[in-house]
Structure 1
Amino acid sequence: MDKIVDIVRAIGEPTRLRILVLLARGELAAGEMSTVLNQSQPRVSRHLKLLAEAGLLERRPEGAWVFFRLKTDGSVGRIIRAILDEVDKDDSILLRDLERLAQVQVQREELARAYFETAADEWHALRRLHQPEALVEARLVEAVAGENFGLHIDLGSGTGRMIELFAPQARRAEGVDSSRKMLALARARLDDTGSGQASVRQADILGLPYEDNCADLVTIHQVLHYLPEPQAAIKEAARILKPGGTLLIADFAPHAFEELRQVHAHRRLGFPDHEVTNWCEQFGLVVDAVEHIAPEAGQSGLAVTLWKAQLPPNRPAAVTTKQLESRITS
């Protein structure tokens, strides 16, 4: 009883209820919520603190930012869902909040898109500065050594390096990216390498234009840290994988280089092992291996983590879109 009373008391204030409605749409930073709610950040932070203390929110400090997401499991998750189900979807205040939220999301996308368009020409130099690139690529290839794939799909393909890297093992490959300039560079690269069975296309990696259970290999290389909802990309990867298919993820380990967010549009400053592993498992994947790769002695750069996961071959071809959507919202 005490727990339920604490939860209801925490929610029982208009601004805090508005916060729950917003976070039901996905993870947000404290500053973003301040913009959406049109309130000062100290005031919003106080409301967030009370909600977090009541166990309704997960709080994730990262550099100079703090991100929040709703608790979705157990009795807390059930209570939150029950309350949100009763919220009037036509309430004028909530509609205004959602309009501002859409504007914030558009600004996020425009910032990332502008960065990619301006940085495309120096993409390779940036990659070499930020990580032990050759070693990461070698480990990715080793992770699936001796395997052959009918269809390889690379999410956030950039200049097409992952397609090129796995070309000897894939009968056909497609890369997906939202930047026209990146796609042009990728097409030029694939033309130069003679990868006749490879192509790239413009699409949203969070809403892929592929049927369920179509890919044998999916790669997500240094993409998740740009996304406001990185688990949504893993959800899509799991959806399009065939039973027995493989997902390879490479991204930064946690770090404190705030400049990457400010200058290079990084949304996340790396990922702890368990976070990506939990996302994979949430969508029916089994994580086979996690490996850490640090720069060699005397070299600068950030540590990188590799995750290898598979969709179990004995699962019915039925990690369907509807099932995955229910998992991400439940």
Structure 2
Amino acid sequence: METIARILKLLGHPDRLRILALLQHEELTVSELVSVLKLSQPRVTQYIKSLEDAGVVDRLREGSWVFSRLCVNGGISMAIVMGVLEKLPVDDPVMAADRDRLNQVRAVRANQANQFFADVANNLGRLSHEFLPQAKVEAAILAQLDTRQFSLMVDLGTGSGRMLALLSDWVKNGIGIDLSPDMLRVARYTLSDERFAHLSVQQSDLARTPLGDGVADLVTLHQVLHHLDRPSDALSEASRLLAPNGTLLVVDFAEHDREDFRDQFSHRRLGFSPEEMSDLLSAHRFVDVRYETIAGADDTYPDLLIWRATRAPKRTLETIT
């Protein structure tokens, strides 16, 4: 009862309600909230702190940036908050003005993301469009998942956030992990649309994420492993994150001899053979390993392989152990 009374008291303050309503749309920094709410930074910081203490807002640090977001697992407190937010009138003039200013913040963020992405788009864009039949790749990814729905997707090495956006209709919640603050800003731009409100990104080494054991039922590694010194570390983390019978999806180049990829695109590995990947997956407790080949643009460009594997069920793990 004390918890309920405390949450109701917090929700009785209009400015705290405004903050929660904004965070329902996306993660925001204090400075962004200040711009939208037109309140002083100390006051916004105070309100955020009270919401954190109540267990309804999380703090997410990325380098020198700190984002606030609604708690994913807040129990009864979050149930009350979401119930109240659903009842807020969409035509409330204060809320409408906040949404207008939020769109202005998004526009500024989009310009910053575009400026950064322009610096890398020449290489990344050429790699995506010349070497990869992107539409075929994405269609094959969706076909691999069929019509199954997932509770939590974790996209390791999320980059621009494209995989999260592509699979957004297949997942209840999604988290993208990337170490680069610049790429995370691009991902936030990619996912800034209202229909992606159930998706988020955070900064972390993809081989050592802060997420708990067995929290996900879908983990994706899209064009990531060839950049890593130790691909097995990423697969080990994927195995840890997945619940038994969870699904792993790996998209990467087939083994090739394009040495120029090392210099042009910072590739550590020149793709993976089906045998090598199968051995890696088996070593990290994956079973039912299957793959599909997507041909490169022509004979001079490497093929792409899409692997799907299942985290071994408990009875299999006991045998392995």
Task: Pick the TM interval, shorter chain.
Answer: 0.5 to 0.7
Aligned position for 1:178: 179
- Counterparts of 1:286 and 1:317, CA distance in 2: 10
Aligned position for 2:158: 157
Contact 1:242/1:311 (8 A) holds in 2 = yes
Aligned position for 1:305: 305
Aligned position for 1:68: none
What is the TM-score with the length of structure 1 in the denominator? 0.58
Q: For structure 2, which runs of at least 5 residues remain unmatched after alignment?
A: 1-116
Contact 1:117/1:179 (8 A) holds in 2 = no
Contact 2:287/2:312 (8 A) holds in 1 = yes
Aligned position for 2:201: 200
More displaced stretch, 185-194 vs 174-183: 185-194
Aligned position for 2:226: 225
How many residue pairs end up in the alignment? 206
Contact 1:245/1:311 (8 A) holds in 2 = yes
- Structure 1 residue identity aligned to 2:305: T
Q: How does 1:63-212 map to 2 (within 5 A)?
A: 118-119=119-120, 123-192=124-193, 194-212=195-213
Aligned position for 1:257: 258
Report the Cα offset of residue 274 of structure 1: 1.1
What is the TM-score with the length of structure 2 in the denominator? 0.59
- Counterparts of 2:314 and 2:207, CA distance in 1: 26
Partner of 2:191: helix, strand, or coil? helix
Report the Cα offset of residue 247 of structure 1: 0.1
Contact 2:123/2:264 (8 A) holds in 1 = no
Moved over 4 A (4+): 316-319
Report the Cα offset of residue 244 of structure 1: 1.1
- Structure 2 residue identity aligned to 1:286: V
- Counterparts of 1:176 and 1:170, CA distance in 2: 16
Aligned position for 1:35: none
The alignment's C-alpha RMSD in Å is 2.7
- CA offsets 1:128-162 (integer angstroms, 9 cap, x no match): 22212111111111111111100000010010010
- Counterparts of 1:301 and 1:177, CA distance in 2: 27
Contact 1:163/1:173 (8 A) holds in 2 = yes
- Counterparts of 1:222 and 1:146, CA distance in 2: 23
Once the two structures are aligned, what percentage of the paired residues are identical? 37
Contact 1:280/1:287 (8 A) holds in 2 = no
Q: For structure 1, which runs of at least 5 residues remain unmatched after alignment?
A: 1-115
- CA offsets 1:162-209 (integer angstroms, 9 cap, x no match): 001110010000001111111101101100363000011110011111
